[in-house]
Structure 1
Amino acid sequence: MPASPSTARAINDRLALELLQRDGPLTATQLKTLTGLSRPTVADLVERLQGAGLIRVVGESGAERRGPNARLYGIVADRAHLAALDVRTDSVAVVVADLLGVTLAEDTLPIDGTTGTGPAIEQAVALLERTARRAGPAPLHSVGIGAPGLIDPATGELRDTTGLPAWHRGLVAALQQRLPATVLVENETNLAAVAEQRGGAARDRDTFVLLWLGHGIGAAVMLDGRLRRGASGGAGEIGFLPVPWTTGVPSAVSCDGGFHSLAGSAAVCELAARYGVPAGAPAGTQGGEQDPVAVHAVHAALAGVANGDVFLDALADRVALGAAAVVSVLDPGCVVLAGEVGHAGGDALASRVEERLARLSPLPTEVRAGALGGAAVLRGALVAARDAAQDALFAPGG
């Protein structure tokens, strides 16, 4: 059954807007070539999108003759603003951007562990409000939040998890009450995977697994271009994965004895100490920076400190053990090492893990270092906010 004229127009408009977002300002002729639509159809959709305030003329193309066909059309990026939050156990980082993802304002606030739930929530909300004001007068449309912990797939809310500050759950509710904006929360590791796929180490991959190596251990599963969260939102909780070389087994309430006990930051520091690799935090380390001690040990090893190579080999042995379990079940073809420790290890750690995986598994698996480092969660949260805004704003009448 053919699409109705109104449905066809909506599809064409969406396609044109997606191209303008992805490829920047385009002429009507370029839109015709990229969409495959006729010249009259493109002229109509340009007129509709301009009338809806979604696009505007932003210049002329020197490659075409002057006149209507040379006009460059671009997204009205300041129609609304987006915000992204990276919520850690001891800090909040905020970025406010326009609809094209251009950063307009950003800030970070440490939150002391002794701060009460109410004051911590108020500090975080006030930080976002201040940053949004600095970004300009456009309304804040969507807010993406990256947080540790599980997201309930039925409600989209952060689940109450032992070990996380109470203000994490309260923050989402407070933002929903205080802001006339759509508020979305997602697990930080999942958002890092989204960011690495959109503009990082997994740009050419629809299927891969991201291993988060930091204070905590986690994984994000991307299959056929879609995040897979699991029935309860717990897909990728590999910190609980039973592995050899630990003193016990994990339980339903503790990942001690699981993969976390081999590759979490505390375990990395203990491993570094075993080989005499210095793991002291570098001078000038600020509060809110996750795992500076473990990261410093990896940096020291890469800089050539005594026994550094032996330490990195031992660390790769441990990471490969957990990765091999994931690979044997999912066969993703690619594993991205992210988180503070994964990013610090870079290609040197990734190549070691890949070599060991080839010995442990018959399934060919490329191992890559994450490209975005500490910015991955914020970048992923911004993508989530932008996707949410697109459906609401980038449609005639939106």
Structure 2
Amino acid sequence: MKILPQIKEIHEEMTEWRHRIHMHPETAFEEYQTSDFVAEKLESFGIEVHRGLAKTGVVGTLKSGSGNRAIGLRADMDALDLQELNEFAHRSQVDGKMHGCGHDGHTVMLLGAAKYLSETKNFDGTVQFIFQPAEENVAGGRVMISDGLFEKFPVDSVYGMHNMPGFNVGEFAVRKGPMMASADFFEARITGVGGHGAFPHLTVDPVTVACDVVSGWQKIVSRNVDPLKSAVITVGEIHGGHTTNVIPEDVVIRGTTRAFDLEVQNMIERRMAQVLDGICAAHGATAEFEYDRRYAPTINTPDETDEAIAAAQELVGEACVDTDVVPVMGAEDFSWMLQERPGCYIMIANGAGEGSCHVHNPNYDFNDTILPLGASYWARLTERVLPKEAA
């Protein structure tokens, strides 16, 4: 691996930063200590700091040369509502919260790159270092966009990165086009007429209606989605009734849908509402339906993906960069930034084998070994996208 020497020198310092953040995890829109730490570091590097977007977001602006092009580099800062089971010294000090997805490492890799770029200024243009809150569950990236991220901090392209357990250190994975799916969430409330379980003919049973609705929704994927495209409709919750011999008045159904294609996403929402209303009407029940488009599909644009691939290959070689990784049905709110600007979302391997585990696991920990590699990727990507003309 060709780690940049200036970044290799601060590996120990970066590790200390990461452990500090890991010990003090903060969840969505409560990243006060983390954003304070990020802002203090950026200011110490001589980078202009802006705060307040999406409540706890931080943006650092660094200019070099006379170029008018700009690049956005994004890292997420939030932790999970999860009890950590690790016993090492830097384990979470906050009960019920932990950095179980590696956002502590993402934050530090971007800070390391910020320090390097502020010292070398081996680029021509503007870098916006975007430290985003609330990636988990509530899509803080969407909030940053609605708060005017790219109007206040214009960029020509934007880039994101996430760690990937299960792959060997020194590897990257990426692809052009869909990288991750959308993640929408829904709630349906079916209201019937409750009554005694022995006299169902005097009721409108919302439980049996709900069963038909769930079955009908599954046929959307099998009969309305192009077989060459992908989609998921998952019902994760059904709530109704309080005892065995009473037909309840209503039933609530909640779940999630996934798709890579905007047209498929639109169709799923439309058809779910139609199926729900139609089945309820046929049985004499009524329905309320809420559909929350929380995460858009993460779709990498071709030219920006080429730049990301080239930067990664410079560091680890062609053989260690998978340029056609299989897309996954997981979701990422960096997608909202990619809807506004061209860009690329890449995976950096977090390690495989004994001791490694996947994200959102109470035994997970970000691999400090890859901190300088991730920072070097950000640095080389910036130098490639915003090249400094030779003297």
Q: Same fold (TM over 0.5)?
A: no
Greater relative CO, 1 or 2 (CA 8 Å, sep 6+): 2
Structure with the higher fraction of residues in strand conformation? 2
TM-score when normalising by structure 1: 0.26
Structure with the higher fraction of residues in helix conformation? 1
